[in-house]
Every structure is written in C-alpha cells, then in structure tokens.
C-alpha cells in the first residue's frame, strides 16, 4: 500500500530483511541499503506505515468470501508463476491451489465465438480434463466461460484468473459458474478484494493466465483481441503457444491464423497435438501413456548420445561436453535421432527424449 513499492521492490525488501515485519521496523539507512530503494522511497515506507483501517477492510472481505492471501514466499504459490519476469507478490485466492497445477494448460479466445469456436473449446476442454490437466482461463464471456464450464462438467479442475477482486465476479452471469469452479478448482486475482473490473486490469491479468500454465491454446481471436495479449505474454515467458486455425473469411480467426503464419504459434487440429508437444512435461500425469516405441537400430554414436539424454531438456553445449564430440558432429547425430522419432529438439537448441 506504500506508493512506489511495486512487486519487484517488495520482493527485494523482504528477501533482504527476511520478512515484512523487519522491513517495517527498519531505519532509513537500513532501507536504502536495498537495491532500488532510495531515500524518497525509504521515507515513504517509514512515514506511511499505518494502514490498519485498509487492512481490516481487506481481511473482512477475505473472511466473508472464504478467501485467503497467498504470497510469493508461501509453498502454495504456483510453481510456474514464480518463474516469470514479473510475478505478483500476492494472490487473493478462493478455493485451493495444488502442486499439480504446474501441469495446467490455458484456453483463451474471443468473447463472441462462432459455432466452430464453441465446439472446439468444448472438445479441447473436455479432453484435457479427461487427462487430469487443469484448465486455466479468465472467466470472460465466450471461449473462457466455455472452457471453465466444460471442465466442470467433465469432472476436471479449472482455475479462473480475474481482472477484478476475487470477490467481484465479472461478468455477473458467471456467479453460478464460480460456485461450481470452487467445488474443485480456484479463483485467483492479484487485485485487492473489492476491486472493480477496470479495463486496464485485464492485460496485466493475462500474464498470470499464461504464467501459471505450460502452454496457452488460442481459439478464435482477432488480431487486436485480448487473447493476443495472452499469446504475447506466453511467448515472453518462454511458454508454448498453440492456435486453432480458422476460416480466412472469418474476422475472429485472423489473430490465430496470423500467429500460425508467423510461426509464433503451433497449429492445433486436435488435443493430441498439444499433448505431443508437451508430453515430456506432462509425462508424470498423463493417464493414457504412449505405447513403447518399437526397437530402433542405432549407430554406435547415436546410441552413445541417446544414453546421455533424458526426460529433462539439455542444451547442445552441455551434451557436447558430456559426449566429447564437437557441436557440428553432435547436431548431425541428433538430427538422425530426431528423424527416428526418439529425440525432440526444443527452442534454444535444447534436446530431450521423446
């Protein structure tokens, strides 16, 4: 609540002093020893320490909504979200956050989908839920709502990330859906309880949707649609982006088609396209594990390299060091293993066993 203290400075302060209470007890000299804290900010921290009234309002709203505050330092804080460039320091949470949420996938898209878009969202959401994969979206009208509702009907888990306070449901017609989500999922927001759904909140909210997940599926969006912002944050966070192609005559497909055309998103026709791309990360939870590969003949060099690889992605330089081979020779052998379908190359010259 101190002006000038954002997420980055708050993390720096708590990491330096050990806990928030020590920050509030620190002197100006001690505060300015922290990177990013000058005398002006330090004096604000010291002079504006009495927020008891505002805090009581927040606690009251939390209790009334059966919600709680989850901070960056809590075990419950989403593992994937910690790894993004600008993770929120506090999350206002209704429902439960689980360790298994690190295997979640986001589904986002237009607020006014076509019949094709609705059908695709329902199909993909149901199939992901059947695999035990949590579905994350923004509770907006259209594709978001369909994704959440389908996951609930399929008996799956879903997480809604709001651009308002966790107790301010927008759109209001989704209040019943929220009750259903909370039976096995969660409502999450970084905004104070009671915050209205202001337009400026939603672009920033989108980085949480993509940040919690392994990848984001876009189903129908124009080039200026909000889902395109989510695609951008996912790419910035080095997460996978998937796009469902649509008619060249349909405005709502211009965004998804553009992402595919530019190579910024992988074309998705069925949910197996997503599962195959994320298989090395989803392996611990996939219910239908792929059948063992038939015996493949490998050369001595291919066998040596294959044994050095694992389910964890390794960079080309690390593999070269382990194998004692030059990078150019190693790439030739890895290409052969890729063509045989037993090794997969990831962005940044990382390689992993299929």
- Quick one: fold of 95-282? Rossmann fold (3.40.50)
- So what's the pLDDT on residue 291? 45
Query: Could you tell me how far CA 317 lies from the centroid of its own chain?
Result: 28
295: Cβ–Cβ under 8 A, 6 or more apart, which residues? none
SS3 content of the chain, % helix, strand, coil (to 5): 45, 15, 40
DSSP three-state, residue 300: helix
- So what's the pLDDT on residue 288? 57
DSSP three-state, residue 308: helix
> Considering the entire predicted model, what is its pTM?
0.80
- So what's the pLDDT on residue 290? 46
Among left, alpha and beta (phi > 0; psi -120 to 50; other), residue 281 is: alpha
- So what's the pLDDT on residue 294? 52
**What letter does residue 200 receive in the DSSP assignment?**
T
Domain-wise residue ranges, the chain: 1-50, 95-282, 300-353
Tell me if 135 sits within 8 A of 101, measured CB to CB.
no
pLDDT along the chain (354 residues), means of 10: 89 93 93 94 85 91 97 95 94 96 97 95 96 97 98 97 97 97 97 96 96 98 96 96 95 96 95 93 74 68 89 87 90 89 85 83
Our separate counts of H helices and E strands in the chain read 16, 12
Tell me how far apart the alpha carbons of residues 306 and 317 are, in angstroms, rounded to a whole number: 15
Tell me if 323 sits within 8 A of 304, measured CB to CB.
yes
Residues of the chain above pLDDT 90, percent: 76
- So what's the pLDDT on residue 295? 64
Nearest to 216 by CA among 162, 150, 278: 278
- So what's the pLDDT on residue 269? 93
Tell me how far apart the alpha carbons of residues 252 and 239 are, in angstroms, rounded to a whole number: 23
- So what's the pLDDT on residue 197? 96
CATH of 1-50, one of 3.90.79.10, 2.60.40.420, 3.40.1190.20, 1.10.150.20: 1.10.150.20
332: Cβ–Cβ under 8 A, 6 or more apart, which residues? none
- Quick one: fold of 300-353? Arc Repressor Mutant, subunit A (1.10.10)
**DSSP per-residue string spanning 125-137:** HHHHHHTT--EEE
Tell me how far apart the alpha carbons of residues 198 and 306 are, in angstroms, rounded to a whole number: 52
Q: Are strands 266-267 and 240-243 parallel, antiparallel or unpaired?
A: parallel
Query: What count of Cα atoms within 13 Å lies in the side-chain half-sphere of residue 105?
Result: 33
């Amino acid at each position: 609540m101190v002006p000038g203290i954002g997420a980055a400075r708050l993390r720096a302060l708590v990491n330096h002093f050990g806990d928030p209470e020590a920050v509030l007890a620190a002197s100006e000299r001690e505060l300015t020893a922290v990177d990013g804290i000058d005398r002006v900010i330090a004096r604000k921290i010291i002079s504006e320490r009495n927020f008891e009234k505002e805090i009581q309002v927040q606690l009251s709203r939390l209790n009334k909504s059966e919600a709680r505050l989850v901070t960056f330092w809590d075990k419950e804080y989403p593992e994937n979200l910690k790894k993004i460039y600008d993770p929120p320091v506090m999350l206002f949470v209704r429902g439960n956050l689980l360790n298994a949420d690190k295997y979640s996938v986001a589904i986002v898209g237009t607020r006014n989908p076509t019949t094709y878009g609705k059908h695709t969202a329902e199909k993909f959401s149901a199939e992901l839920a059947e695999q035990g994969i949590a579905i994350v979206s923004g509770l907006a009208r259209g594709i978001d709502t369909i994704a959440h509702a389908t996951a609930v009907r399929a008996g799956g888990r879903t997480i809604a990330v709001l651009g308002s306070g966790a107790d301010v449901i927008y759109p209001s017609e989704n209040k019943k859906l929220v009750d259903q989500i909370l039976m096995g999922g969660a409502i999450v927001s970084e905004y104070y309880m009671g915050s209205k759904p202001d337009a400026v909140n939603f672009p920033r909210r989108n980085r949480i949707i993509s940040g919690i997940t392994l990848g984001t599926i876009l189903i129908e969006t124009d080039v200026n649609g909000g889902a395109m912002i989510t695609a951008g944050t996912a790419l910035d966070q080095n997460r996978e982006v998937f796009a469902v192609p649509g008619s060249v005559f349909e405005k709502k497909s211009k965004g998804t088609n553009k992402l595919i055309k530019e190579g910024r998103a992988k074309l998705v026709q069925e949910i197996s396209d997503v599962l195959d791309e994320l298989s090395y990360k989803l392996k611990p939870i996939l219910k239908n594990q792929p059948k063992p590969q038939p015996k493949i003949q490998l050369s001595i060099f291919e066998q040596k390299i294959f044994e050095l690889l694992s389910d964890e992605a390794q960079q080309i330089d690390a593999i070269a060091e382990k194998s004692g081979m030059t990078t150019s020779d190693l790439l030739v052998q890895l290409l052969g293993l890729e063509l045989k379908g037993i090794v997969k190359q990831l962005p940044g010259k990382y390689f992993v066993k299929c």
